[in-house]
Structure 1
Amino acid sequence: MKANCPDEGTTVAITIPAGLVKNTTAAYSFSFTTYKTPAVNITKTLVAGQTQQVKDLYDYFLGLYGKKVISSVMADVNWNTKIADKVKALTGKYPAMNCFDFIHIYVPNQGSNGWINYYDITPVKNWADKGGIVQLMWHFNVPTSENTEVKMDGSGVTCDPTKTTFKASNALKEGTWENKWFYQEMDKVAAVLLKLQDAGIAATWRPFHEGAGNATLKSGDSWGKAWFWWGAEGSANYKKLWIAMFDYFKQKGVKNLIWIWTSQNFNGDATKYNQDNDWYPGDQYVDMVARDLYGNSVEKNKQEFTELQAAYPTKMIVLGECGKSENGEQGNIGNCWTAGAKWGHFMVWYQGKQGSTDTMCSDAWWKSAMSDSNVVTLPTNH
């Protein structure tokens, strides 16, 4: 039996009269309510951005939201456009955005011994000058212990809470070694952000991503934990860290960022996970809400997008990271869009060794995405 009810938000009652069901004389009645698309009223102003460039960038996202999805890729070791160049070589088009990561900014003497000099913003400026949108994120590394020397080879630091004695709660307590590290590293990043700001470059900003990790696991199993130090001591402390960074960057004069919070949501399975709404810093500290999905089908993409848009109806919802996993290829972005997963943008992770791009999506996935009429790429003259 099929029930056809094309209207949204409609309750349908069905009764099966007695005698129609085999092996019983009983009648059956049941009802259901069809899905209703949540009212979306995206906030038109930024929570912290005040430069004209960042206002223009946010307006650009707003103008495309629900109409097109903006393409992006993660940089190869964070301060270049090598992967974007590979996507261009494969498909004939550059992604519209390139994501840079401050993951190695902890290294003493930036630029020495072959390490990145983040204070040289040339790679970012070159990308922006060709019309590319700049994304920024930060795998915020901390020393493995108070007395560990952070060496020039990059050893002695980690994001993994199981490999460090760094306590996230102490990061906000004056007089602790964690507090000293927390603010000295933020000073380094803020200095680069201000250089970008002075150069007229605005960016999306995705710090403290995937904060909940597996902490919303319903079973209580031992693996139900956060996998980054910033989430290791729970949602309340996580939000304090976010707000501390937000306030500190504001104090420093950083005004060129669109702040993006990354939800863990259901990890695609509501039977095993609770929502992570408790980890949300608050509307006044977040411009967009992201979700990181790997190896998720078109249907899972739609589920995650729909749940997030319903939970955060005033925020644009974006696909923070995506790519292949042990579950298979990431859902075809064109098919995701058609199915209703209308992400504001998507960003493919690097290091996947998939095809000629060396990302976590295959050549076939990329060719399909970059030729899709719903996907925004860098103008072809670049």
Structure 2
Amino acid sequence: MVVFDINLAMMHSHIFLYNVKAWGRKVIAGCQARWDYNTTDAEEIFNAAGKYPALNIFDFQHFRHPDIDYMADTALQWHRAGGIVGFIWHWSVPVDPGCGPQQGYSFYLPSAAGPQKRGTTFSPRKALQQGTPENRQLLLDLSTVTRLLLHYQRQGIPIIWRPLHEAAGNSNRGGTAWFWWGSDGAEVFRQLYLYMQDYLMSHGVHNLIYVWTSELDDDDWYPGDAHVDIVARDQYRIGTSHDSYKEQYDVLKSKYPNKMLALAECDCMPDAGRMLADGAIWLYAAPWTVPFVFGSNNTPEFWKNFLHSNIILTRDETTVK
């Protein structure tokens, strides 16, 4: 397996090689931040199970919030403790792009926002057109996130990077996308993904391992092998059975045979023994944060058994510093 960004291979090859070494043999235990820049879930899992997950996945969603300091050493402390750092980006944009921030921000489309949230009409097609309000917002946000990623890069932190996730939504099943970055279809999404990637790299960001999230039936949304390091699945059954999610694993394995596969989000965590028995050994597995981290039968007892399994890698066992 060859990493997408050759400069990452030179700067942070240890994290990529660690993933390759684990792939097919071990599952990296992961968890999410609670919507922004914290290790709250990780601390609660440690209190319940006596071990930390190896991977903590932060979220850039609230980078505009004045009380959340993404320049703080939270990621650095996790990294220095032996942990793997990940980032997702629930990319919130103005609800009405023509009015700026006055009406608030959202990443949901109006059709997916629900009664308690506001959706945005932000168009990725327009965001790729120079001079539009959407393009100005796109560049402003990319500039801010680039500054943060470069800060982590200077600190020596490699990042498992999963932006623009779940892009297709229900588009290929007779429905619509959920988030604005999927609202103009597969071709525009691929253009947006490559635009983001080119922007980050051209501005010197080379500490990222790129993760693309599949909806299983969205091959036309795939940016291509040359632009993706890991293919991920977000799986919600709203149930309490600790499945291995073998069916989804096998579909992804057949479609993307040269890629490592991850269970990037789920409600009910997979059982370690079942993953081993079914041959569905995900690179990493991480439940979504509340209400799922201790819901959906992810009890403290489950976490204790899971994190002490021989095939599960925890923070005390990782060697990526």
Q: TM-score, normalised by structure 1?
A: 0.76
Quick one: which of 184, 199, 211 aligns to 1:233? 184
- Look up the SS of the partner of 1:156 in the other structure: strand
Quick one: which of 83, 100, 104 aligns to 1:156? 104
CA contact (8 A) 1:287 1:316 kept: yes
For 2:310, the equivalent position in structure 1 comes to 373
Deviations 1:180-206 (A, max 9, x none): 001110100000100111111101100
Residues 1:261 and 2:219 are matched in the alignment: no
Q: Which runs of 5+ in 2 are unaligned?
A: 111-118
Letter in 2 for 1:187: S
What does 1:176-215 correspond to in 2, within 5 Å?
Answer: 176-215=132-171
Deviation (angstroms), 1:80: 1.3
Q: Find the aligned partners of 2:64 and 2:296 in 1 and give their Cα distance.
A: 25
Deviations 1:128-181 (A, max 9, x none): 011110011101111000344536xxx700011212221110010001000000
Letter in 2 for 1:45: V
For 1:313, the equivalent position in structure 2 comes to 257
Distance 1:82 1:225, change over 3 A: same
- Look up the SS of the partner of 2:315 in the other structure: coil
Quick one: which of 248, 258, 263 aligns to 1:304? 248
What does 1:320-339 correspond to in 2, within 5 Å?
Answer: 320-323=264-267, 329-339=268-278
Letter in 2 for 1:283: D
How many residue pairs align between the two structures? 308
Q: Find the aligned partners of 1:64 and 1:70 in 2 and give their Cα distance.
A: 8
What does 1:1-382 correspond to in 2, within 5 Å?
Answer: 43-47=1-5, 49-50=7-8, 52-107=10-65, 112=66, 115-118=67-70, 120-150=71-101, 156-162=104-110, 163-217=119-173, 220=174, 224-265=175-216, 275-295=217-237, 301-323=245-267, 329-352=268-291, 355=294, 361-379=298-316
Q: Find the aligned partners of 2:26 and 2:86 in 1 and give their Cα distance.
A: 18
Q: Find the aligned partners of 1:335 and 1:365 in 2 and give their Cα distance.
A: 14
Q: Which runs of 5+ in 1 are unaligned?
A: 1-42, 266-274, 324-328
Q: Find the aligned partners of 1:345 and 1:300 in 2 and give their Cα distance.
A: 12
Q: TM-score, normalised by structure 2?
A: 0.90
Letter in 2 for 1:165: T
- Look up the SS of the partner of 2:202 in the other structure: helix
Q: Which moved more, 1:311-320 or 1:98-107?
A: 98-107
Identity across matched positions, percent: 35
Deviation (angstroms), 1:76: 1.8
CA contact (8 A) 2:34 2:290 kept: yes
Deviation (angstroms), 1:237: 0.6
Deviation (angstroms), 1:341: 1.2
Which entry has the higher C-alpha Rg, 1 or 2?
Answer: 1
CA contact (8 A) 2:162 2:210 kept: yes
Q: Find the aligned partners of 1:164 and 1:65 in 2 and give their Cα distance.
A: 38
Q: Find the aligned partners of 2:186 and 2:64 in 1 and give their Cα distance.
A: 25
Deviation (angstroms), 1:363: 2.3
CA contact (8 A) 2:213 2:232 kept: yes
Q: Find the aligned partners of 1:207 and 1:238 in 2 and give their Cα distance.
A: 12
Aligned-residue Cα RMSD (Å) equals: 2.1
Deviation (angstroms), 1:332: 2.2
Distance 1:165 1:360, change over 3 A: farther
Q: Find the aligned partners of 1:359 and 1:203 in 2 and give their Cα distance.
A: 28
CA contact (8 A) 1:79 1:123 kept: yes
CA contact (8 A) 1:209 1:262 kept: yes
- Look up the SS of the partner of 2:254 in the other structure: helix
CA contact (8 A) 2:109 2:183 kept: yes
Deviation (angstroms), 1:77: 3.0
Distance 1:380 1:283, change over 3 A: closer
Q: Find the aligned partners of 1:353 and 1:320 in 2 and give their Cα distance.
A: 13
Q: Find the aligned partners of 1:156 and 1:333 in 2 and give their Cα distance.
A: 42
Distance 1:251 1:353, change over 3 A: closer
Deviation (angstroms), 1:333: 3.6
